């Protein structure tokens, strides 16, 4: 029986430019002289370094981690010496620097030895902990820590498991080559997901422009069958690889605004993430490498390489024969694809967990920031292709005017930044760049508001704590006075006499007497004594007037 497919709103048919990077098959990149590992390679809290300069590390050794539940540890991709822990440029749309661990490679590639526990002995929670300890994140681009996502899916209950092999963006073929060469690892990872969720059905969605990948996955399933699992070839249309779009195509369901796939019993996982889960559970191997596509008209030999994390992009460019036509000074580097990627400042930036593709173009592919462009002519093409059914034109006006309240009313954060609106705009307005800038400013404002609210709450809590302490002190004094009254019946009948106040008055009178009366007058003459008495009399008279 043929599987019934559905359609999502909008989308585009794009020239895929995929054939040139598939010619050479999957290649091994080897080791560069240095690896640069940013402490944060995932969504969530940044890690803290567990090593220091001068330390020697082994392949697979834990070198950075965080106690936050939304985080992912980092392991040494090979053996070597920690050369530095400092700020270096990292792959980010802002071009910013961040703290990184630099490893000087010794080319021995010695691995750390760790005790292996059979997965048959592990409970589901222990399997998730091992995936977390291996540093596995979503390798489709979101880089959300997989363990946290798996915990959320278990808590909600999953009816349908969706495996995303669409890889819809032009030039990118890393998932395609993975399915062609390591389909058994992908299937093994899907098996573990089924063990964790026990779904009623598993749907593997692969675009129909990947016939070799579809064949390889089907052959792997014939060798190791999975229950209630289907491989489904879907129409090649961008952005069918988006989570909500793939869900719509395969199930006809729509994830409600403000909700996640878990909330409607669905769990979506990328092909490469499935393979990484298999490595973590079958081999006890942390995520220290990934497949990266190097493509574009600015590179001599496009292809796919398995690359150790932290490898500088320049090293990959040399493996691919260097820049086409010049020394690379005028080439445009993009991490990701031409639709959703972001520009890189130079080729010294390292490969990280989210690096699925390095696009090298001889002309500017992605605008650096919103700048000069023609005015909007209100043609409406952007709304026609938007897969989320937003109003990109209205979002553009509001974000350009920095009217962020109205921007959110037009559901700015529902935008998946697929770039369809920018691609069809006849005025060549970089719409996605406006949306990204607005999202960044809104997030920054929210963070400041969060810190302000937290400081206010802490201040109010301190004031309440001090007030409570004062009340408790007054209550202790009251109880002490009552205890004294009960102990001394003579005082008990005189409610107007406060024993504590009476004691204070006695101390005050004693000090006053000592200050007024000389302690030693034996060596004074009668005239001196008379002068002292006269001075005391004047002081007493002055004190009486003040009282």
What confidence tens digit (pLDDT) does each residue in 17-66 have?
999 999 989 999 999 999 999 999 998 888 999 999 999 999 999 999 99
**pLDDT of 280 over the 60 cut:** yes
Question: Looking at residue 492, what is its pLDDT?
Answer: 54
H-helix or E-strand containing 514? helix 499-516
User: How many CA atoms are closer than 13 Å to the CA of 207, on its beta-carbon side?
Assistant: 22
Alpha carbon distance 411, 408 (integer Å): 5
Question: Looking at residue 274, what is its pLDDT?
Answer: 96
Dihedral pair phi/psi, residue 307, rounded to 5°: -120, 135
**pLDDT of 2 over the 90 cut:** no
Sign of CA dihedral 24, 25, 26, 28: negative
Instruction: Kindly state the percentage of the chain with pLDDT values over 90.
Output: 69
**Domain boundary assignment for the chain:** 19-114+121-319, 390-520
**pLDDT of 380 over the 70 cut:** yes
Question: Looking at residue 227, what is its pLDDT?
Answer: 92
What confidence tens digit (pLDDT) does each residue in 65-107 have?
998 888 999 999 999 999 999 999 999 887 789 999 999 999 9
Q: Which bin fits 511, alpha (ψ -120 to 50), beta or left (φ > 0)? A: alpha
Return all residues near 42 (Cβ < 8 A) that are at least 6 apart: 71, 72, 137, 143, 144, 145, 353
pTM: 0.81
Question: Looking at residue 329, what is its pLDDT?
Answer: 64
**pLDDT of 326 over the 70 cut:** no
If you classify domain 19-114+121-319 with CATH, what class do you get? alpha beta
**pLDDT of 335 over the 70 cut:** yes
Alpha carbon distance 527, 116 (integer Å): 103
CA angle 326, 330, 333 (to 5 degrees): 105
Q: Which two tokens stand for residue 330?
A: 């005028």
Among 143, 147, 211, CA closest to 179: 211
Sign of CA dihedral 191, 195, 197, 198: positive
Among 417, 456, 224, 246, CA closest to 336: 417
C-alpha dist (Å) from residue 58 to 77, 222, 278, 304: 8, 38, 22, 26
User: 3-state class of 423 per DSSP?
Assistant: helix
- Which of residues 412 and 326 earns the better pLDDT score? 412
- Confidence at 545, pLDDT banded by 50, 70, 90: low
Return all residues near 279 (Cβ < 8 A) that are at least 6 apart: 134, 185, 285, 287
- Which of residues 197 and 516 earns the better pLDDT score? 197
């Amino acid at each position: 029986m043929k599987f019934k497919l559905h359609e999502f709103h909008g989308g585009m048919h794009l020239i895929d430019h995929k054939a040139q990077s598939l010619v050479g098959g999957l290649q091994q990149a080897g080791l560069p002289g240095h690896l640069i590992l940013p402490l944060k390679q995932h969504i969530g809290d940044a890690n803290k370094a567990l090593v220091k300069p001068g330390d020697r590390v082994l392949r697979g050794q834990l070198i950075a981690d965080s106690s936050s539940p939304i985080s992912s540890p980092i392991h040494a991709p090979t053996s070597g010496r920690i050369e530095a822990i400092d700020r270096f440029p990292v792959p980010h749309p802002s071009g910013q620097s961040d703290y990184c661990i630099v490893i000087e490679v010794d080319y021995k590639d010695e691995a750390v030895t760790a005790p292996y526990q059979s997965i048959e002995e592990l409970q589901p929670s222990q399997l998730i902990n091992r995936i977390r300890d291996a540093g596995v994140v979503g390798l489709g681009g979101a880089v959300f820590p997989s363990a946290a996502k798996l915990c959320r899916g278990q808590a909600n209950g999953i009816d349908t498991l969706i495996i995303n092999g669409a890889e819809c963006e032009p030039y990118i073929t890393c998932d395609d080559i993975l399915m062609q060469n390591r389909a058994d690892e992908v299937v093994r990872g899907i098996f573990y997901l089924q063990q964790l969720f026990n779904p009623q059905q598993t749907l593997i969605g692969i675009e129909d422009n990947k016939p070799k990948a579809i064949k390889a996955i089907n052959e792997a399933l014939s060798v190791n069958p999975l229950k209630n699992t289907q491989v489904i070839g879907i129409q090649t249309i961008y952005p069918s690889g988006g989570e909500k779009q793939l869900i719509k195509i395969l199930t006809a369901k729509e994830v409600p605004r403000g909700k996640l796939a878990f909330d409607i019993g669905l769990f979506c996982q990328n092909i490469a993430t499935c393979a990484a889960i298999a490595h973590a559970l079958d081999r006890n191997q942390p995520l220290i490498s990934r497949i990266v596509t190097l493509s574009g008209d600015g590179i001599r030999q496009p292809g796919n390489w398995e690359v150790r994390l932290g490898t500088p992009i320049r090293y990959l460019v040399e493996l691919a024969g260097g820049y086409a036509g010049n020394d690379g000074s005028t080439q445009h580097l993009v991490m990701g694809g031409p639709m959703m990627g972001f520009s890189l400042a130079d080729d010294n930036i390292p490969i990280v967990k989210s690096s699925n593709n390095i696009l090298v173009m001889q002309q500017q592919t992605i605008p650096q920031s919103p700048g000069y462009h023609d005015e909007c002519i209100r043609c409406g093409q952007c709304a026609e292709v938007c897969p989320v059914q937003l109003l990109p034109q209205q979002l553009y006006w509001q974000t350009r005017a920095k009217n962020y309240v109205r921007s959110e009313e037009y559901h700015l954060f529902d935008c998946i930044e697929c770039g369809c609106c920018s691609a069809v705009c006849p005025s060549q307005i970089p719409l996605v760049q406006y949306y990204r800038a607005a999202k960044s400013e809104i997030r920054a404002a929210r963070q400041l508001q969060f810190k302000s609210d937290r400081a206010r709450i802490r201040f109010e809590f301190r004031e309440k704590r001090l007030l409570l302490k004062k009340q408790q002190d007054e209550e202790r004094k009251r109880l002490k006075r009552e205890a004294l009254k009960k102990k001394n019946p003579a005082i008990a009948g005189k409610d107007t006499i406060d024993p504590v106040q009476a004691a204070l008055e006695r101390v005050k009178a004693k000090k006053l007497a000592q200050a007024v009366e000389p302690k030693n007058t034996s060596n004074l003459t009668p005239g001196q004594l008379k002068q002292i008495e006269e001075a005391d009399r004047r002081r007493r008279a002055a004190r009486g007037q003040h009282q």
